[in-house]
Structure 1
Amino acid sequence: MEAELRQLGNNPDALVNPIGLGCMNLSEFYGPQDDKASIKVLERAIELGCTFWDTADIYGVGHNEKLLSQVLKTHRDKIFLCTKFGFIRDESGFFVECCGKPEYVRKSCQESLDRLGVDTIDLYYMHRMDKNTPIEETMAALVELVKEGKIRYIGLSEFNEETIRRAHKIHPISALQVEYSPWFLNIENNGILKTARELGISIVAFSPLGRAIMTGDIKSLDDLSKDDARHTLPRFYPENFEKNLELTHKFKALADKKNVSPSEYVLAWILAQGPEFLVIPGTRKINHLEQNFRAGQIKFTPEELIEIRKILNEFTPVGNRFGEMFQVFVEDNKK
């Protein structure tokens, strides 16, 4: 049984499965990639009905979009396709700036369309804010792309309340992509969630499993490969990791009582926060994909939700979610 479809933003013609697929780690950051295995994951996702796919031009420096194109060429009509623009990386892969200049927006969109092998992107996000280009100028370029049929809906990723409102005045924003999980609840307190609900914007939660720490599969830092990018994140530093793992243990105990996996439990809890929530967990394994997708069948009693919230109110994760290099790109300045 699949989860009930949810409307994307204020668009009654855009109904998606709230449990989507984040495709980033199929190409980069979480150890070496295996394209053949990744294709099998994507094909299984289609079989399940997990068809709200999220990628970006920078994932693998274009590799991720090209990877998805291999499946899209025969299954485009089944996929609600989301990608992003804005980040610029140097030859070493270092993130150097974000760009929202109109000419760059058009160039990035066309390059993504070409790599993906499609005529239209369903949801096109600005990945992070360009602090040197007014959002109104960026939005004007995006509106032109909508008129031309190259994109259907506009989204923003990790923007603050003021900029969201300015952008929404130019053209309706359909989705806000934000980090949200039991160990990162900032949108509840910085005005983002309140603004999204007021304006009718969907919340697309990335890293909903806390970069897999909430799955219970990572029991020590030795479980991560040496080139895993999580080693650079303060919450995964040796001095912080064990403390942060305490939240995982508490959620696992609750999941065990409900006879579901921690991943299912966490994803179901996020969806229970409101009809505007969608989740895009990433995985390289088919069994994890299937497990994540089962979260759509889980319901909570009011008492269970109160118990979960009590645990969250009593726990404070240790360490920022990003290192200093990347934190500068987060507009809300909440670490």
Structure 2
Amino acid sequence: MKADDGTPLPVRRLGDLRLPAQGLGCLSMTSFYARADPAEARATVRRAIDRGVTLLDTADVQGLGEGERLLGEAVAGRRDRVLISTKVGLERDQEGEFLGVRGDRGYIRQRCHASLRRLGVDHLDFYVKHWAAPGERIEEAFGALAELVTEGKVRHLCLSEVSAATIRRAHAVHPVTAVQSEWSLWSRGIEAEVVPVCRELGIGIIASCPLGRGFLTGSIGSAADLGPAQDFRHGLPRFGHANLARNQAVLAALRHLAASRDLTVAQLALAWLHQQGDDVVPIPGTARRDHLEENLAAALVELTPDERQAVAAAVPPEAVHGDRYPPFLMRLVDN
């Protein structure tokens, strides 16, 4: 299915905000995957804005700040048309080595000011606390974030990859606008507790990695398809040789269902997620305009209840082999 340039994107809600149903994840533009063409990445952001996308998501650790700089360049002259989301909490050294998760007040304030400078803006629309360390006092982090709201540097506060209990504790300090967590056909862990507590509290859901870090595009048949060694998916258990081979089985049924609707596998996976509620905004990531158009077309797809059930049944949780992250990172999510 091709994108229809003349059809506006449906509207969804995150807390009290109303915004287009699909955002744009910018991770692949500067880091973690194969090297993207910066000019094409900037053109992709601008094309997204022209197509009505407003939510643009990055993080201070993406490219060690390069992700924020690129996004700032891309939105120059269009700032009033977008909602910029960036994150704080994951610490890396200058070589890119992961140091851990932080939420102390001084760190959050310093990183916020650095993000504003790199983006070239005077405020962040969404500021997202990136994960929570085991035992972390989320109250300190959210108290510091609330100060930034009072000072006008931040408009809305969000959380990423945390437990339902942490969401409740943070929301008691300052309203949480949205929770950004991985949600896709092969990552459904938030459905048990996180989604219900978000809906109880009126918190929106930003679905990150809605295409399973590329797996649900149907284009990754082996590790060779991941590209260069620096692609971080080489270190993720689901993309390990044995697990990846077993995970291919889920794609066969999806391909059949997608073909019956003249959709790509990626569009079918996104369409299923789009119809999980009017408080869900997926942010598929890409640094290419052709992939952007393919993804946006999925926001216009209507699946019948029977089709939604068939899609979900094609990828039962027990059919997905391997954790999302290696053990040392798995200990740092969903706390």
**TM-score in same-fold range (> 0.5):** yes
Give the equivalent residue in structure 2 for 1:8: 14
Q: CA deviation at 1:235?
A: 0.5
Alignment counterpart, residue 184 of structure 1, candidates 182, 187, 195: 187
* RMSD, aligned α-carbons: 1.4
Q: CA deviation at 1:313?
A: 3.3
Q: 1:6 to 1:314 in 2, by over 3 A?
A: closer
Give the equivalent residue in structure 2 for 1:282: 285
Q: Amino acid of the residue matched to residue 176 of structure 2?
A: I
Give the equivalent residue in structure 2 for 1:270: 273
Q: Is the CA contact (8 Å cut-off) linking 1:102 and 1:138 kept in structure 2? A: yes
Unaligned residue ranges in structure 2 (runs of 5+): 1-6
Select between 222-231 and 310-319 the one with higher mean Cα deviation.
Answer: 310-319
After superposition, the C-alpha distances for 1:258-314 in whole angstroms (9 at most, x for unaligned) are: 011111111110011111111011112211100000111100111112222332337
Select between 89-98 and 110-119 the one with higher mean Cα deviation.
Answer: 89-98
Alignment counterpart, residue 78 of structure 1, candidates 78, 81, 93: 81
Map residues 85-164 of structure 1 onto 2, 5 A cutoff.
85-131=88-134, 133-164=136-167
Give the equivalent residue in structure 1 for 2:204: 202
Select between 248-257 and 309-318 the one with higher mean Cα deviation.
Answer: 309-318
Give the equivalent residue in structure 1 for 2:217: 215
Q: How far apart, in 2, do the equivalents of 1:177 and 1:314 lie? A: 20
Q: Amino acid of the residue matched to residue 58 of structure 1?
A: V
Q: CA deviation at 1:39?
A: 1.1
Q: How far apart, in 2, do the equivalents of 1:306 and 1:281 lie? A: 22
Q: Amino acid of the residue matched to residue 192 of structure 1?
A: V
Q: 1:213 to 1:314 in 2, by over 3 A?
A: closer
SS in 1 for 2:316: helix
Q: How far apart, in 2, do the equivalents of 1:68 and 1:255 lie? A: 33
Give the equivalent residue in structure 1 for 2:3: none
Give the equivalent residue in structure 1 for 2:26: 23
Identity %: 38
Q: CA deviation at 1:61?
A: 0.4
Q: Amino acid of the residue matched to residue 13 of structure 2?
A: Q
Aligned residues: 328
Unaligned residue ranges in structure 1 (runs of 5+): none
Q: Is the CA contact (8 Å cut-off) linking 1:247 and 1:315 kept in structure 2? A: no
Q: Amino acid of the residue matched to residue 150 of structure 1?
A: K
What TM-score comes out, normalization by structure 2 length? Answer: 0.94
Q: How far apart, in 2, do the equivalents of 1:146 and 1:277 lie? A: 24
After superposition, the C-alpha distances for 1:164-217 in whole angstroms (9 at most, x for unaligned) are: 10111111101111111111111112x111111111111111110011111112
Q: How far apart, in 1, do the equivalents of 2:141 and 2:287 lie? A: 34
SS in 1 for 2:333: coil
Q: How far apart, in 1, do the equivalents of 2:144 and 2:47 lie? A: 36
Q: How far apart, in 1, do the equivalents of 2:293 and 2:126 lie? A: 24
Q: Amino acid of the residue matched to residue 195 of structure 2?
A: L
After superposition, the C-alpha distances for 1:239-265 in whole angstroms (9 at most, x for unaligned) are: 111211211222121111001111111
SS in 2 for 1:126: strand
Q: How far apart, in 2, do the equivalents of 1:105 and 1:231 lie? A: 31
Give the equivalent residue in structure 1 for 2:44: 41
Runs of 4+ residues over 6 Å off in structure 1 = none
Q: CA deviation at 1:86?
A: 0.7
Q: Amino acid of the residue matched to residue 214 of structure 1?
A: L
SS in 1 for 2:64: coil
Q: Is the CA contact (8 Å cut-off) linking 2:210 and 2:284 kept in structure 1? A: yes
Q: Amino acid of the residue matched to residue 269 of structure 2?
A: V
Give the equivalent residue in structure 2 for 1:320: 323
Give the equivalent residue in structure 2 for 1:257: 260
Give the equivalent residue in structure 2 for 1:308: 311
Q: 1:33 to 1:325 in 2, by over 3 A?
A: farther
What TM-score comes out, normalization by structure 1 length? Answer: 0.94
Q: Is the CA contact (8 Å cut-off) linking 1:16 and 1:80 kept in structure 2? A: no
Select between 33-42 and 150-159 the one with higher mean Cα deviation.
Answer: 33-42
Q: How far apart, in 1, do the equivalents of 2:231 and 2:81 lie? A: 32
Q: Is the CA contact (8 Å cut-off) linking 2:64 and 2:94 kept in structure 1? A: no
Q: CA deviation at 1:72?
A: 2.2
Q: Is the CA contact (8 Å cut-off) linking 2:182 and 2:207 kept in structure 1? A: yes
Give the equivalent residue in structure 2 for 1:234: 237
Q: 1:97 to 1:315 in 2, by over 3 A?
A: closer
